[in-house]
Amino acid sequence: MRSALAPLITLLLASPALAQLAVLGDHVHTMSDPGVITQGVVLINPQGKIERVGPASEVPVPEGWKTLKAAVVVPGLIDARSSVGLSGILNQRQDQDQLETSAAIQPELRAIDAYNPNDPLVEWVRSFGVTTLHTGHAPGELISGQTCLVKTSGKTVEESVLRETAALAATLGDGARRDNSPGTRAKMVSMLREQFIKAQEYQRTREKAAPDAAKPSSDKPALPPARDLRMEALCLALSREIPLMVNAQRAQDISAALRLAGEFNLRLILEGGSESYLLTDALKAGQVPVLVHPPMARAYGELENASMSTPRTLHDAGITVAFQAGFEGYVPKTRVVLFEAAIAVRHGMAPEDALASLTVVPARILGIADRVGSIAPGLDADLALFDGDPFEYTTHCVGTVIDGKPFAGPPR
């Protein structure tokens, strides 16, 4: 049975321009002040921004505005780590761009140069309420490339992109082990350390060669080194413009990532962290957020000590936690992050905390909370609409709104 919203959403999509839109919810979870609004209204202007939000008794719907109604309205969900748009939906060679295996360290690779906004997998995750993806090169090499932030709408990269470069993706542990090099954990860390030292030297040389306004024009500065895309990408992390996101599952690899981040003053994001509950004090002391492994990920190999209660354990320890769908080798090539969060709720995480870890928390971690993650005036009108509790198995996503444009939920 199709949602009653489907015909109206189809009609709105056929409109030549964005309409003035009101979204009505029996319960609107703003993830900001004033929290949950009963019988709430979200007014969206034609620029795709939230204009007003509040209870229906205080925020009347202007005459002539289009309306959508749902039982529960939440901010558009954010998948804090995936390879959607680079991995294709099936195991077909022509669209498997999630990992370049020709070298262990390739920070110069940019996800936006491979991202396919028209991949069916993008539409699929959008139908479950995901409106923003932190996507890019999958774990599997010491540094596999740069990630990006995109909306799950738009027909071109330019229409979809929220931030071209979001993080530098790295891997420590068995996932980065190669037949030749690196073959051991010590070699992995030494190779990363070597590259960051080279990047520091590259950075210093370029700074010395930069013109100095205080010097006479006759004092010619030294010629800067030739541009090096690898060094430039590493310098972004050294200058803390972007974080180093390290996929590490074992406690010893998480510890190595913490040491490396401390040595070079890097902004560290831990990805995966199946044994992160063993290092809660260190993670909290270092203020390191964790993009926790999907709770339903198969517990084998490096994930043999993974636990479905890890999100709750980390949150209760005062560590910032966000959910990720990750990358899967089978098809479809991603998990649904909403379902992963629901499993965390089943294993003790409070529903409101889990919802925050799908919305406002990843927005803060990724530096885009001024655009998405909450329902507040001035923010992008990104919403997910449900016909019941989002974490209930029988609930359906009946539609999403991205930048004020509505999209249908999955067919039923």
Residue 138 pLDDT level (bands cut at 50, 70, 90): very high
CA–CA gap between residue 321 and residue 343 (Å, rounded): 15
**Mean pLDDT value of segment 123-134:** 97
Number of other residues whose CB lies within 10 A of the CB of residue 10: 11
Query: Two tokens at 12?
Result: 């709105």
pLDDT of residue 14: 46
Q: Inform me whether the pLDDT recorded for 124 exceeds 90.
A: yes
**Mean pLDDT value of segment 181-188:** 96
pLDDT of residue 410: 79
Residue 16 pLDDT level (bands cut at 50, 70, 90): very low
pLDDT of residue 411: 74
Mean pLDDT in the chain? 93
pLDDT of residue 224: 80
In tens, the pLDDT along 385-399 reads 999 999 999 999 999
Picking from 357, 361, 365, 407, the residue whose alpha carbon sits closest to that of residue 382 is: 407
Residue 335 pLDDT level (bands cut at 50, 70, 90): very high
Q: Spell out the residues 6+ positions from residue 134 whose beta carbon is closer than 8 angstroms to its own.
A: 78, 79, 80, 81, 82, 147, 148, 149, 166, 167, 324, 362, 366
CA–CA gap between residue 180 and residue 31 (Å, rounded): 48
pLDDT of residue 198: 98
What kind of fold does domain 77-184+236-367 have according to CATH? TIM Barrel (3.20.20)
Q: How many CA atoms lie within 13 A of 271 on its CB side?
A: 30
> Which residue has tokens 């909370």?
369
pLDDT of residue 7: 58
Burial class (CB in 10 A: 0-12, 13-18, 19+), 364: middle
pLDDT of residue 219: 61
Burial class (CB in 10 A: 0-12, 13-18, 19+), 213: exposed
CA–CA gap between residue 163 and residue 156 (Å, rounded): 14
Q: Indicate if the alpha-carbon torsion angle 15, 16, 22, 23 is positive or negative.
A: positive
**Mean pLDDT value of segment 130-139:** 97
In tens, the pLDDT along 200-249 reads 999 999 998 877 655 665 566 667 889 999 999 999 999 999 999 999 99
Give CATH 3.20.20.140 domain extents, the chain: 77-184+236-367
Query: Two tokens at 224?
Result: 């800067």
In tens, the pLDDT along 22-52 reads 999 999 999 999 999 999 999 999 999 999 9
**Mean pLDDT value of segment 324-352:** 95
What kind of fold does domain 1-76+373-412 have according to CATH? Urease, subunit C; domain 1 (2.30.40)
**Mean pLDDT value of segment 127-136:** 98
Give CATH 2.30.40.10 domain extents, the chain: 1-76+373-412
Residue 98 pLDDT level (bands cut at 50, 70, 90): very high
